[in-house]
Amino acid sequence: MSTPAESTGRTLTVAVLAGGRSSEHEVSLSSGASVSEGLVASGHEVLNVEIGRDGAWRLDGERLSVTPGDGLLGVDVVFPALHGPFGEDGTVQGMLETLDVAYVGADVAASAVSINKVLSKELMSAGGVPQVDYVGVAEDRFRRSGEEVLAQIANLGLPLFIKPAHLGSSVGIVKVSEAERLREALDGAFAHDELVIAEAMAHGVEVECGVLGALESARSAGQPRAVASVPGEIGFPGDWYDFRAKYTAGGMELRVPARISPTATERVKTLALESFIRAGCDGLARVDFFVDGERVVVNELNTMPGFTPTSVYAKLMDASGIAYPQLVDRLCRLALERHGRRRSYRY
Give me the CATH number covering residue 49.
Answer: 3.40.50.20
CA distances, 29 to each of 47, 224, 263 (Å):
14, 33, 38
Shared domain for 146 and 89, answered yes or no, is no
CATH, residue 280: 3.30.470.20
Confidence band for 66, pLDDT divided at 50, 70 and 90: very high
Instruction: Write down the catalytic residue from 21, 267, 278, 286.
Output: 286
Residue 52 covered by a domain = yes
Instruction: Write down the catalytic residue from 37, 170, 219, 247.
Output: 247
Shared domain for 101 and 117, answered yes or no, is no
Shared domain for 211 and 330, answered yes or no, is yes
Please report the pLDDT score of residue 89 as a whole number. 96
Q: pLDDT at residue 88 above 60? A: yes
Secondary structure string (H, E, C) spanning the chain: CCCCCCCCCCCCEEEEEEECCCCCHHHHHHHHHHHHHHHHHCCCEEEEEEECCCCCEEECCEECCCCCCCCCCCCCEEEECCCCCCCCCCHHHHHHHHHCCEECCCCHHHHHHHHCHHHHHHHHHHCCCCECCEEEEEHHHHHHCHHHHHHHHHCCCCCEEEEECCCCCCCCCEEECCHHHHHHHHHHHHCCCCEEEEEECCCCEEEEEEEEECCHHHHHCCCCCEEECCCEEEECCCCCCCHHHHHCCCCCEEECCCCCCHHHHHHHHHHHHHHHHHCCCCCEEEEEEEEECCEEEEEEEECCCCCCCCCHHHHHHHHCCCCHHHHHHHHHHHHHHHHHHHHCCCC
Active site residue 302: yes
Shared domain for 96 and 245, answered yes or no, is no
Instruction: Write down the catalytic residue from 19, 38, 283, 306.
Output: 306
Segment 188-202 shows an average pLDDT of 95
Shared domain for 269 and 289, answered yes or no, is yes
pLDDT tens digits for 242-276? Answer: 555 454 555 689 999 999 999 999 999 999 999 99
Active site residue 229: no
Active site residue 286: yes
Please report the pLDDT score of residue 244 as a whole number. 53
What's the pTM?
A: 0.91
Active site residue 37: no
Q: pLDDT at residue 175 above 80? A: yes
Please report the pLDDT score of residue 252 as a whole number. 81
Shared domain for 312 and 218, answered yes or no, is yes
Shared domain for 187 and 45, answered yes or no, is no
Residue 229 covered by a domain = yes
pLDDT tens digits for 102-155? Answer: 999 999 999 999 999 999 999 999 999 999 999 999 999 999 999 999 999 999
Shared domain for 218 and 119, answered yes or no, is yes
Domain limit, last residue, from 143, 178, 200: 200
Shared domain for 140 and 125, answered yes or no, is no
Please report the pLDDT score of residue 6 as a whole number. 45
Shared domain for 255 and 123, answered yes or no, is yes
Number of separate domains in the chain = 3
Instruction: Write down the catalytic residue from 193, 233, 242, 300.
Output: 300
Shared domain for 156 and 300, answered yes or no, is no
Confidence band for 310, pLDDT divided at 50, 70 and 90: confident
Please report the pLDDT score of residue 322 as a whole number. 97
Query: For the ranges 161-165, 220-224, 246-250, 283-287, which has the lowest average pLDDT?
Result: 246-250
Shared domain for 177 and 298, answered yes or no, is no
Residue 7 covered by a domain = no
Residue 336 covered by a domain = yes
Q: pLDDT at residue 42 above 90? A: yes
Active site residue 347: no
CATH, residue 173: 3.30.1490.20
d(CA 196, CA 193): 7
Domain limit, last residue, from 183, 200, 217: 200
d(CA 162, CA 252): 22
Segment 221-249 shows an average pLDDT of 76
Residue 177 covered by a domain = yes
Instruction: Write down the catalytic residue from 89, 107, 206, 288.
Output: 288
Host domain of residue 140: 134-200
Instruction: Write down the catalytic residue from 24, 50, 199, 242.
Output: 24
Instruction: Write down the catalytic residue from 302, 318, 320, 330.
Output: 302
Q: What is the mean pLDDT of the chain?
A: 92
Instruction: Write down the catalytic residue from 111, 169, 275, 311.
Output: 169
